[in-house]
Amino acid sequence: MDIKLTQFSHGGGCGCKIAPAVLTQLLADTPLRVMPRELIVGTETSDDAAVYQLNDSQAIVATTDFFTPIVDDPYDFGRIAATNAISDIYAMGGRPIMALAVVGMPLDKLPLEVIRKILAGGDSVCAEAGIPIAGGHSIDVLEPIYGLVALGLVHPARVKRNSGAQPGDVLILGKPLGVGILSAALKKGLLTPDGYATMIRHTTQLNTPGARLAELDDVHAITDVTGFGLAGHLLEICRGSSLSASVRFADLPLIPEAVGFVREGISTGASTRNWNGYGTDVALPADAPEWQQKLLTDPQTSGGLLVACAPAGATAVLAELRGAGFAEAAVIGSLQAGAARLQLI
């Protein structure tokens, strides 16, 4: 039986995240409670993971991420989901230590062999990261869902919050943008084999440099670019750090196939939801074409690290990223004092 996983999902990968505007409404009435002093990162700035200090030299990093299929191949789906989940550990400057599987499958629709391949894909990525899948939870649901609870360790002094950026910092992006657009083209049957290979290469590349970047004194903040797009996750840095950002569109690393598709009008519904959620905080040039906006808001499944560092540290950050195989890593803009806004130049 020919199974296409994406036929079971209304939105795939990080594109199925709840829209930022809706999420804000859902969390608006969440009570503010007194947090233990050991919880050094919680929900206050929408950071990538929670961090709980264990002692003077260790803190545990905890996160979870799961979603519906972004591709039809079950093994690739498992790999992408696991890579995406572990990324939050690296984005906090941590090193992963173990994972728990989050599994929801329509057992009446998917053969067990397909589900086994999804799990095998996730396990292969965890093996690459050097961690075990030590347990998890599974349920029978209408849409396939897979992901991980990921746990890691970090030195408390090396935690990289999205609120740590400083005026004058430069912004460096580790992976090119456009994965969401490629996924939209895939659903329409337009993505070529080469385009699919490009998509898989980027979405299964672990953001391992995050742990090493956290050891550089010039690195002030790190996040990873996922479902809210570059603009959304950069705005989280701006809000957390009380800064304004400028991004040069000409310097953005972009997936060439994605640029071709978006200029033809192909994008995700999540891109529009993202813009509706935070577009009032983004200033575009008057003559900017709509496709540039779509790339800024394109949901990135397992996207790249976004690093804020002192200008003097940019060369070292780029060397670390490129040395680890992130060839397209680039300086894309800067941060300055001002209201939490993003200006595209």
Q: Tell me: the pLDDT tens digits for 151-179?
A: 999 999 999 999 999 999 999 999 999 99
The conformation of residue 38, written as its DSSP 8-state character, comes to T
Higher-scoring residue by pLDDT: 71, 25: 71
What confidence score (pLDDT) does residue 3 get? 75
Domain 5-158: CATH architecture, name and number where available: 2-Layer Sandwich (3.30)
pLDDT score at 74:
96
Q: Which residues make up the CATH 3.90.650.10 domain(s) of the chain? A: 170-344
3-state class (DSSP) for residue 186: helix
Q: Which of 15-24, 63-72, 266-275 has the lowest mean pLDDT?
A: 15-24
| Sequence-distant (≥ 6) Cβ neighbours of residue 171 within 8 angstroms | 234, 245, 247, 306, 307, 308, 331, 332, 333, 334, 335
Q: Would you call 14 a catalytic residue per the annotation? A: yes
- Full-model pTM: 0.92
Q: Is the pLDDT of residue 21 over 80?
A: no
Which tokens belong to 22?
């809706």
Q: Which of 14, 16, 126, 309 is catalytic?
A: 14
DSSP state of 19: P
Among residues 219, 295, 281, the alpha carbon closest in space to that of 250 is found at: 295
What are the percentages of helix, strand and coil residues in the chain, rounded to 5? Answer: 40, 25, 35
Residue span(s) of the chain under CATH 3.30.1330.10 come to 5-158
Band of pLDDT at residue 4, cut at 50, 70 and 90: confident
Mean local confidence (pLDDT), 186-194: 94
Q: What's the confidence (pLDDT) of residue 18?
A: 59
**Spatial contact of 322 and 253, defined as CB atoms under 8 Å apart:** no
Candidate CATH numbers 3.40.50.2300, 3.60.15.10, 3.90.650.10, 3.40.50.720; the one for domain 170-344: 3.90.650.10
Q: Is pLDDT of 133 > 80?
A: yes
Per-residue confidence (pLDDT) for residue 26, from 0 to 100: 57
Answer whether residue 17 shows pLDDT above 80: no
Note the pLDDT of residue 31. Answer: 63
Is the separation of the CB atoms in 226 and 305 below 8 Å?
Answer: no
Contact 161, 241 (CB under 8 A): no
pLDDT classification of 30: cutoffs 50, 70, 90: low
pLDDT band at 112 (very low <50, low <70, confident <90, very high): very high
- Taking 90 as the threshold, does the pLDDT of residue 131 lie above it? yes
pLDDT at 10 over 70: no
Q: What is the pLDDT of residue 12?
A: 54
Confidence (pLDDT) at 48: 85
Angle at 208 between CA 91 and CA 105, to 5 degrees: 75
Residue 288: per-residue pLDDT = 94
Decide which of 315 and 17 is more confident: 315
pLDDT one-digit tens code per residue, 236-294: 999 999 999 999 999 999 999 999 999 999 999 999 999 999 999 999 999 999 999 99
User: Mean pLDDT score of the chain, rounded to an integer?
Assistant: 93
Q: In which element (H, E) is residue 297 found? A: helix 290-297
Asked if the model's pLDDT at residue 27 lies above 80, the reply is no
In this prediction, residues 216-237 reach a mean pLDDT of 96
Residue 7: per-residue pLDDT = 77
